[in-house]
Structure 1
Amino acid sequence: MFNKKGYVRTLEAFFAFFATFIFLVFIVNSGYLPKTKLVAQDVLYTLEQNYDFRECIYAENTSCAEEIVDPYINSDFNFKVSINELESFTNSYDIQVEQLFIVGDVSRDFNIVKLYYWRSG
């Protein structure tokens, strides 16, 4: 028949491996919360055809543009809109930038809109 000692040792090794695997997956991994990465939100792409947003950009009114952008930004992020300017940041945040060229017609010059966003805190 079977060698009972070999069979039991094989079964014990399987259970030991299974218990170790369960420990590693559930116990060790439960304390690990990965830092969520900044993901491109494509906010400017969404607002590209928004008439009110375009009028704010033509008027170079950043506060108006920020009011329109605000509902599209996740509450975990802070943001800043700049029009035809390059912003400088003195803090060490991981800052993502979206950029969009807005052109109305042949009578208007183009405007470069930049949306800077970073994780709050």
Structure 2
Amino acid sequence: MPVYGTLWILLIAYVTRYLPYGMASATASMHQVGSELEESARASGAAWWPAFRRIVLPLAAPGLLAGWIAIVMLSLRELSSSIVVYSPGNEVLAIRIWEQYENGSFPQLAALGVLMVVGILPLVGAAYALGSRAGGRR
């Protein structure tokens, strides 16, 4: 199956670029959960998957979610990987903004910039709410 010229090439580029950030966030979240909790569940007779699903995952979920929100915010403004692999008809928002800048269409450029900010603001709000809830501040 050819990948070039489709949206799959952008997905592959983004996964390749942002996988280290996701793994760092996931690893940090998982390390914060003490292994004693999982070990006590296993000692009480729980299998690995139920212990992971009912104990570890709920405790690590805020960190995992915050990591993914950060990755989405970063990928929305990603230009370097996108510009290398995009094809006509598969432009992302950052490519459209760059094209408007190159063409000198500054009103459209400003409108796309506002759309990008409006798209990122709910993610920033969610990250802030998640961080304040996990940090104990209300």
Establish whether TM, by shorter chain, passes 0.5.
Answer: no
User: TM-score if structure 1 supplies the norm length?
Assistant: 0.32
| Bigger proportion of residues as helix | 2
User: TM-score if structure 2 supplies the norm length?
Assistant: 0.29
Greater Rg over alpha carbons, structure:
1
Of structures 1 and 2, the one with the larger relative CO (CA 8 A, separation 6+) is 2
